[in-house]
Structures are given as C-alpha cells and as structure tokens.
Amino acid sequence: MSAWQVVRLIAGREIAERVRGRLIRILTLVTALLVVVGVALPGLIKSSSAAPVKLGLVGPSTQALAPAVTRTAGAAKLHVRAIDVADPATARDLLVSGGLDVALELTGADTAVVSVKQSLSASARAVLQAALDDVHLRSGLALAHVPLAKVLPALTPVRISETIVKPPAPDRTARTIAAIAAALLMYVSLGLYGGAVAIGVAQEKTSRTAEVLLAAVRPRQLLVGKVLGIGSVGLGQLGVAAAAGLIANAFVHSAKIPTSVILLLPAFLVCFLAGFALYAFALAAAGALVARQEELQAATLPVQLPLLIGYLLVYAAIGNPNAGWLKLLSFVPPLTATLMPARIALGHVAAWELPLAAVIMAASIYGMARLAARVYAGGMLHGGARLGWRAALRLPA
Amino acid sequence: MITTSELGAEGLEVFGLRRRFGEVVALDGVTFAARPGEIVGLVGRNGAGKTTAMRSIMGIIHPDAGEVRWRGRPLHDGARLQFGYMPEERGLYPQMPIGAQVAYFAQLHGMTAAAAGAGARHWLERLGLGERLDERLVALSHGNQQRVQLAVSLVHDPRLLVLDEPFAGLDPEAVDSLSDVLREQAAAGRAILFSSHQLELVERICRRVVIVDRGRVLADGTLRELRQRLPAELRIRVDGASDWAAALPGVRIARTDADGVVLVVEPGTDTQAILRAAQAQGPVEHFAYETGGLVDLYRQMVSG
C-alpha cells in the first residue's frame, strides 16, 4: 500500500468515527443556528432603528408648524413623521404608550414645550429648535412688513459640501471585522479540532492501540491521516455554519459583503489551513507525551499559549497594520496564521512577502509533523511516566 | 541453547538482542527462534524482558544491539505486515464497532476493503462474536474484547503471530477456545510466539519453551530437552517421618511439602542406600523420580 493510501484509510476512519457520533451532528446544527441568529439579528434591529421619529404636534397653532419641521428635519437628514394631536393629555398618553416619540406644543409667540417619554436626542432637539426659529423669524419678518420674496434667499440654508482630507481604506470596517473573524475562527477551531487531535493521539497512546498501529504503519502516516481526517470534519462543520450564515444574510440583508472582502477569502483560507496544520501537529505531539489523559491539559499548554498570543495581537495589529513589529512577527510561524490575514486585510503586503511566509510555514509544518511522529513512536517507551518536551526532542529519529 | 546449526532459514530468528531504558537493562543478549508450525512459549516474570523482546520483533522498539531475522533475511517494515500482533493491554478503539474495526486493521495490513470485511466477519464469527458486529468495543466484556483483539491479529492471514499474554484474564472456556485456534494456526504452518505466566497452559500448548529472566535466556528447548538438563529429583514419602533426610550423604533437599520430601540426587549416589535409609524411618509410601513440570523447571532455573 502506498503512503497516500494509508493516510487516506486513517483519515477516513477519523471522519467516520466523528460523523457517526450524534453529538457532532447536534453540534453542527447548533453552530449553524448560532451563526444564523448572529447574522440575522443586526439586520432585524437595523430595520427598526431606521423607523421615523413620531412627532406629535399639539394644538392647531403647533400643527401649522408641520411644513417647517419637515423642512428642517430633511436638511438634518432626520426622518420625522408629524402627527396631529388634539390636546396635551392625549399627547402625554401617546408618549407613554409609545404612539409618539416627541410632542411639541406652542405655548406662546416665542415659547414652546417639548415633551418626551424619557429623553430627547440632541439631533431631535436641534431639528425642533431650527424649525421653531425658522417660523419665528418668518412671522417676525411678516409682522415687520418685510416682503418674504426679498428675504427668502437669506433664509435658505447655507449649502455645505464635505471634503475628506484622509479617506479611510475602502470598506475598512468590513475588513477589520474580517481580520478579527479570521483570528477568532482559527482560535476556536484549533480549540475544538486541534483538541480532538490531541485527545485522539493520547487515547491511542495510553490504550496501546498505537502499538498495534505502528506494527503496520509509519507514525508520520498515522499523524498526517489524523490531522487530515479531523481537520476535514472541522472544515466541513465550519462550511455548514458559513453557508447557513450566508443564506441568512441573503434573506435578511444584514450586511452587504464588499467585493474587496470576498477577494480576501482565498488568502484567508490558505492562512487558516496552514495555521491549523501547524498547530494540529504540535497538539498531536503534546498528546503523544502524556501517559494518562488527565495530563493532557498541562501538556498542551505550551501550544495553546502562542495561539492565544497570536489571537490577541490581532487587536493590536488593527490599530497599526503597517507597524514594523507586526511585519516581523507575521513571519513567525505560530503567529502567521492570525497576523498575516490582519495585514492582508488592513495593511500593505508586498508581493514577495506572501511566498516567503508560505515557504517558512511549509517548512515549519513539515518539521512539526516529523517531531510529532518521533514523539508518537518514541513516547511509548516511557509507558509509566510522562515525557517532558525537552526529553521528547531528544528522542532518536 | 540454540546452536547455529539448528537454525533453519525459515521463520523468526532473534539474535543477541540488547536494550536498556536508562538504568534498566531490559534485554541482555536474547536469542531464540520460532519456526513455522511451532508454538513457542515465552515464559518469565514481570520485567523479565518478554514484552520488550516482542516489541523489538514488531518494530515498536529499536534494540540497541542484535538482529531480528525473518525467513533468513533481516527484518524490514514490509515483512512485518505478515505478522499478527496482540499487545499486552487492549489496543483498540473503544467507540468503533467491532466489525468495522477488525476490517480497518486488516486494510492497514494491505487487504482490500472487500477481503477485509469478509475476513472480519469470518474471524468474529469463529470467535463467537458473529452476532455483534455492529456493537462498539466498549459494550463487550473483557473476554470478548480480547477475542476482538485476537481477531485483529489473525484477520490478515499472518505468517507469524506475536501474542503478549493472550490468555490473561480469560475464563477456562475462552482459554480452550484460544488454544484451539493457536493449534489450528500452527497446523496450518504459522509460527506462533506467545508469552504467559500460566506455566501449566504453556506446558499444554507449546512445543518449545523459552525461559527469560532479567533480560537473558535461561533455557530454550522442548520440555523434554529441558527436563533432561536438570538433575534428577527423587520424591520420597515416609509415613510418620518428615525430617529424616537432612543428614543423608550425596543428596540435597530441594523442597518439602505435604506429599513428602524432594531430594536432588548427585551423580554417583547410591539410590538404594537412600531407600534403605527411608525404610529405616518407617513405611515408605512413595519413592519415585519426579518428572518436573514446567513450574518446577522454571523455579529451578530462575533460582539456581
């Protein structure tokens, strides 16, 4: 049998064992549901916050202000719906019940009362103030017998046009979210599936299954098969969750995913796969060190630490995507998986940098796989005691 | 001890295996063989080196020195696919259904999926588990789990069986069943090497016995050969007397038990004189050579 056939057999067993479990199906379903909820919710909330401000105009004199209010509201880009209300008591009831957001009552020639249920937003206050001032000014001019036509030009709002001096990168928010999501995804999936690799290896080692296996196949084939199999299950689950999220997004229109972010996805996928492979082999090595499954936590700690650091550093990277330290660190293999996507999304990455990082990662993955194989094969000799990392590195090839 | 001239070019041969783990010497020059059609029993106490020797044969451990040969040639990975191995403790996946599991290991040894499935069904049926192919290993009793382990070692039709304590924890029925399988396999021309503490069992089943202690081979041969190497033992029971033999010349007391006293007779000693001495003590109820069982042999070898 060729090495590839062996790897495929082993990977197939890992996949079958996990897919066979009912737990995994439930987990996939739950994850997909969570993603759907997470995606749909913002969309649903947004639609409610885009609702117009319900403004009650109390009394006939106030109701005459309706055109003025609409005008100033339009200028301030605030969506207002003016509703005629008979008296203050009705207004009060409507405010409490939610039928109105704000109630306005002209109490005199130059006084007015604004009623709200709990608080008045600054933008609403400004709009009302502007509307009242405008009407006040017009009536004052009329009383002073100034022809409106002459003064109208002075009354129209001054046109302001915006000039942005340092425009942000297009879709910056979306890209930031993408970078964070990629790092978070890496962290979570390694916790789940990388953990599964460690547990599986530890179980084989402590139960002597490893002995029977090694009598027939090479340790490297075993581990590659394991990582491939468990990684495939993980990828499949993520794929299901992602598909669910995208479908939900299409229905609810929560977020429009910019093309620039979609173009990032192939690079993100490569970083993810490389990072997963590196950490999975490291976790396999950790799993091969233990003599009892209870020791797994302690053994995997040295692997979990750089992963956590890599995740946390992404937040620092977002603030300064072209920093020198970030550039350097993004080539350090344990950190590449999370930092490189952040740089690709938000910073400037030169054409030569990606192939270099790829080569470094490939070499690291290869080295880690070999180490894991050595520890797996050698670790069994020390049946009773747990091997330390240093002793493991000294094992013969 | 095996001499070079006895070694054929067939089967398994192990030469001068040495292996230490830190301070502990596990193997200190172990040499023996298991030929096709032979059942060889590897006997010794815990820590004697049996498991280490077997792991060396299976390539799980690399010896510091020495050689393992198969069919006259140095052993390599490909040849190991022809071996069936059963480790001392359960080496299987607890959550995997047993039918699929046996087939999986068969495939790892190079069988096609179809042949592996058929082989798994055949062996599990043969070992009494035909009705339970879809059950997970963890749902079976210890004895049944061991049967599955045995099936894994047999399914790919191996030329050599290496079984580490295969009888441990089995009830008498299971012991008989396993013994039958091993005899059958030997009759079919397989070479079988197994280790055990149960010396009576080894005596019953094995053709050759290899006694190891502290990493060395103390004895290697058929039971008859081994018995011949030891000095004669005389068991004498005198009614009413027990401590009479202490002063006798030319003998040494090996042990005393409820059935009398066992004397080791030095060559040249007149056994009739011993008989007369016994008769002088009282009615002699038993006076015969002891045909040492393996238990006695082992005790003598290890202590002597």
Residue where one domain finishes, among candidates A96, A125, A155: A155
What does the DSSP 8-state code read for residue B197? S
| Contact assessment for residue A220 and residue A374, using Cβ atoms and an 8 Å cutoff | no
Q: Quote the radius of gyration of chain B (alpha carbons, Å).
A: 23
Structure confidence at residue A380 (pLDDT): 57
Minimum-distance CB partner of B90 among A208, A218, A380: A208
Minimum-distance CB partner of A6 among B60, B83, B108: B108
| Contact assessment for residue A83 and residue A56, using Cβ atoms and an 8 Å cutoff | yes
Q: B40-53 burial, b for 16+ CB within 10 Å, e for fewer?
A: bbbbbeeebbbbbb
Among A180-189, B30-39, B138-147, whose mean pLDDT is lowest?
Answer: A180-189
Looking at this protein, which amino acid is placed at residue A344? Answer: I
Chain B residues whose beta carbon lies within 8 Å of the beta carbon of residue A16: 100
Whether B152 and chain A come into contact, CB under 8 Å, resolves to yes
For residue A111, tell me if it sits in a domain: yes
| Same-domain check for residues A342 and A318 | yes
CATH classification for the domain delimited by B4-223, as one of 1.10.260.40, 1.10.1060.10, 3.40.50.300, 3.30.565.10? 3.40.50.300
| Same-domain check for residues A322 and A389 | yes
Count of domains in chain A?
2
For residue A167, tell me if it sits in a domain: no
For residue A215, give the chain B residue with the closest CA. Answer: B58
Shortest CA distance to B55 belongs to which of B108, B4, B19? Answer: B19
Q: Could you tell me the CA-to-CA distances from A192 to A4, A280, A311 in Å, in that order?
A: 26, 11, 15
Residue where one domain finishes, among candidates A124, A155, A186: A155
The answer to whether the Cβ–Cβ distance between A215 and B107 falls below 8 Å is: no
| Contact assessment for residue A224 and residue A311, using Cβ atoms and an 8 Å cutoff | no
Domain containing residue A212: 3-44+172-393
| Contact assessment for residue A60 and residue A126, using Cβ atoms and an 8 Å cutoff | no
| Same-domain check for residues A67 and A96 | yes
Strand duo A53-58 + A102-106: pairing: parallel
pTM over 0.80: no
Q: Which of A8, A20, A208, A293 to mutate to test the interface with B (most CBs of B within 10 A)?
A: A208
For residue A291, tell me if it sits in a domain: yes
Q: What is the pLDDT along chain A (397 residues), one digit of tens a residue?
A: 788 999 999 999 999 988 887 777 787 788 788 877 777 776 666 655 567 888 888 888 888 888 888 888 887 777 888 888 888 888 888 888 888 888 888 888 778 888 888 888 888 888 888 888 888 888 888 888 888 788 777 777 777 888 888 776 667 777 888 888 888 888 888 888 888 899 999 888 888 888 889 888 888 999 999 999 999 988 888 888 888 878 877 777 666 677 777 778 888 888 889 999 999 999 999 988 887 888 888 888 999 999 999 889 988 888 888 888 888 998 999 999 888 888 888 878 888 898 999 999 999 999 999 999 888 887 655 544 556 666 666 665 4
- Minimal Cα–Cα distance from A21 to chain B, Å? 9
Q: B88-101 burial, b for 16+ CB within 10 Å, e for fewer?
A: bebbbbeebbbbbb
| Same-domain check for residues A227 and A348 | yes
Size of interface A-B (CB pairs under 8 A): 64
For residue A162, tell me if it sits in a domain: no
Whether A253 and chain B come into contact, CB under 8 Å, resolves to no
For residue A165, tell me if it sits in a domain: no
For residue A160, tell me if it sits in a domain: no
End-to-end CA distance of chain A: 23
Whether B59 and chain A come into contact, CB under 8 Å, resolves to yes
Whole-complex ipTM: 0.78
| Same-domain check for residues A27 and A100 | no
| Same-domain check for residues A40 and A63 | no
| Same-domain check for residues A143 and A214 | no
* Cβ count within 10 A of residue B145: 19
| Same-domain check for residues A230 and A338 | yes
Q: How far is Cα A211 from Cα A209, in angstroms, rounded to an integer? A: 5
pLDDT in tens, B266-298: 777 788 888 898 898 889 999 888 766 777 778
Minimum-distance CB partner of A215 among B58, B62, B93: B58
pLDDT in tens, B218-240: 889 988 787 777 777 888 888 87
Chain B residues whose beta carbon lies within 8 Å of the beta carbon of residue A381: 21, 61
For residue A121, tell me if it sits in a domain: yes
- Minimal Cα–Cα distance from B49 to chain A, Å? 13
| Same-domain check for residues A279 and A135 | no
| Contact assessment for residue A196 and residue A254, using Cβ atoms and an 8 Å cutoff | no
Strand duo A80-85 + A53-58: pairing: parallel
| Same-domain check for residues A150 and A192 | no
What are the residue ranges of helices labelled H in chain B?
Answer: 50-58, 77-80, 98-108, 113-126, 142-154, 172-187, 199-205, 223-229, 271-281, 294-303
For residue A219, give the chain B residue with the closest CA. Answer: B60
The string of DSSP letters for A312-331 reads: HHHHHHHH-TT-HHHHHHTT
Whether A391 and chain B come into contact, CB under 8 Å, resolves to no
* Cβ count within 10 A of residue A266: 9
| Same-domain check for residues A199 and A309 | yes
What does the DSSP 8-state code read for residue B48? S
